[in-house]
């Protein structure tokens, strides 16, 4: 694709956005999955910038919700949810750099029905939770298993939704913390943002030598906000191209597509996540256009766009974007 040559990865990547050696990371290769993002796990793979990596991921439940008769509260062991593949060490990555991760494909893996969605007690956007405590009784536990194939997401006999896959959780290691993979933050993590999809490049801040890339929690489709707490969760085979941007200096995840540039903020309350995303975008637009931050601020009040990732996780995630055609 021609636009990739003009992307940040194509223009500034150590590998110039050119695909390099191929690697695979299977479930058997991974052996032990991770439930925290941190710098303390041994890398399962070490690659050069430009590497193309095929990774097998579990769903968010590590395959433990097998049938519609299962109750999540009985088969899941909280907080051991959202298992992550990795970490992957990228040679030459240092604090202040960014990993450029181009998402090539996300393909369902395993026997049908491969998709799972459910209601989990005290989890979701419209119910009482541990952080939003109320006297309301929990909703009933319901599990729905869904066939996902080339024709789409077969919700019912009368409704087939489009297959719109993306990576729910992807990020780098924090510098000293070990943080639950259920939480998003400045390093990425459980952002649950549908834009982190095939065709996009996400730029993740490097906080520790090697970057330590983690990935998991793929979704077949998700509405804005991930309203009931889960999307349509799938085990998947993910193909990524990983490059390295030296000295990129982004404090928060940045996402690029052919048409737009986005920054992603995560925080509570929701408006603070939006503020983070827009602040980073204002600064980037000013730097790109050579104008002032005040001009960028006013420009974005007219043409900026907001995308709600999740409104259910320990921190909420929001993407703020601008179409590239306005960067003149």
The 10 Å CB-count burial string (b at 16+, else e) for 117-145 is bbbbbbbbeebbbeeeeeeeeebeeebeb
Q: Does an H or E element contain 238, and which? A: strand 236-245
CA distance 83 to 19: 27
Identify the pLDDT of residue 100: 98
CA distances to 15, 93, 211, 250 from 207, rounded to whole Å, are 20, 9, 6, 11
pLDDT at 78: 87
Q: Per-residue pLDDT tens for 121-148?
A: 989 999 988 888 888 888 999 999 999 9
**C-alpha to C-alpha distance for 303 and 122, rounded to whole angstroms:** 37
What CA–CA distance (Å, rounded) separates 5 from 243? 13
Domain count, the chain: 1
Q: What is the pLDDT of residue 23?
A: 98
Cβ neighbours around 255 below 10 Å, total: 24
Of 109, 90, 86, nearest in space to 34 by CA: 86
Give me the pLDDT at residue 136, please.
Answer: 87
Looking up residue 51, the CATH number of its domain turns out to be: 2.60.120.580
- How far apart CA 90 and CA 258 sit, in angstroms, is 25
Please report the pLDDT score of residue 216 as a whole number.
98
Q: What is the pLDDT of residue 129?
A: 87
d(CA 20, CA 40): 27
Dist CA 201 CA 52 (whole Å): 13
Could you give the CA distance from residue 153 to residue 156 in angstroms, rounded to a whole number?
9
Name the residue range of residue 103's domain: 2-326
Residue 111 CA to residue 129 CA, distance in Å, equals 33
Q: What percent of the chain has pLDDT over 90?
A: 95
The DSSP secondary-structure symbol of 267 reads E
Question: Do 277 and 263 contact (CB within 8 A), yes or no?
Answer: yes
Cα-Cα-Cα-Cα torsion 215, 217, 222, 223, nearest 10 degrees, comes to: -80
Low-confidence ranges of the chain (pLDDT < 70): none
């Amino acid at each position: 694709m021609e636009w990739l040559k003009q992307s940040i990865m194509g223009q500034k990547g150590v590998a110039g956005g050119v695909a390099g050696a191929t690697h695979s990371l299977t479930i058997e290769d991974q052996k032990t999955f991770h439930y925290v993002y941190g710098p303390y796990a041994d890398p399962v793979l070490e690659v050069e910038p430009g590497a193309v990596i095929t990774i097998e991921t579990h769903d968010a439940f590590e395959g433990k919700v097998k049938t519609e008769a299962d109750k999540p509260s009985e088969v899941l062991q909280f907080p051991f949810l959202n298992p992550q593949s990795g970490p992957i060490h990228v040679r030459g990555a240092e604090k202040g750099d960014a990993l450029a991760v181009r998402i090539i494909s996300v393909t369902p893996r395993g026997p049908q029905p491969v998709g799972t969605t459910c209601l989990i007690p005290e989890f979701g956007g419209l119910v009482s939770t541990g952080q939003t405590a109320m006297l309301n009784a929990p909703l009933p536990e319901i599990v729905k298993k869904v066939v996902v194939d080339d024709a789409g997401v077969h919700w019912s006999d009368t409704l087939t939704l489009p297959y719109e896959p993306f990576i729910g959780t992807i990020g780098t290691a924090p510098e000293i913390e070990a943080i639950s993979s259920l939480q998003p933050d400045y390093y990425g993590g459980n952002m649950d943002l549908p834009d982190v999809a095939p065709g996009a490049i996400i730029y993740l801040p490097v906080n520790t030598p090697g970057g330590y890339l983690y990935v998991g929690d793929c979704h077949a489709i998700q509405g804005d906000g991930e309203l009931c707490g889960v999307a349509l969760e799938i085990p998947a085979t993910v193909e990524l191209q990983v490059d390295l941007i030296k000295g990129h200096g982004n404090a928060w995840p940045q996402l690029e597509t052919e048409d737009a540039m986005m920054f992603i903020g995560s925080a509570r309350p929701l408006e603070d996540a939006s503020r983070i995303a827009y602040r980073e975008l204002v600064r980037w637009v000013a730097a790109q256009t050579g104008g002032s931050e005040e001009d960028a601020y006013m420009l974005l009040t007219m043409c900026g766009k907001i995308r709600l990732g999740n409104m259910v996780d320990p921190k909420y995630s929001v993407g703020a974007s601008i179409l590239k055609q306005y960067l003149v």
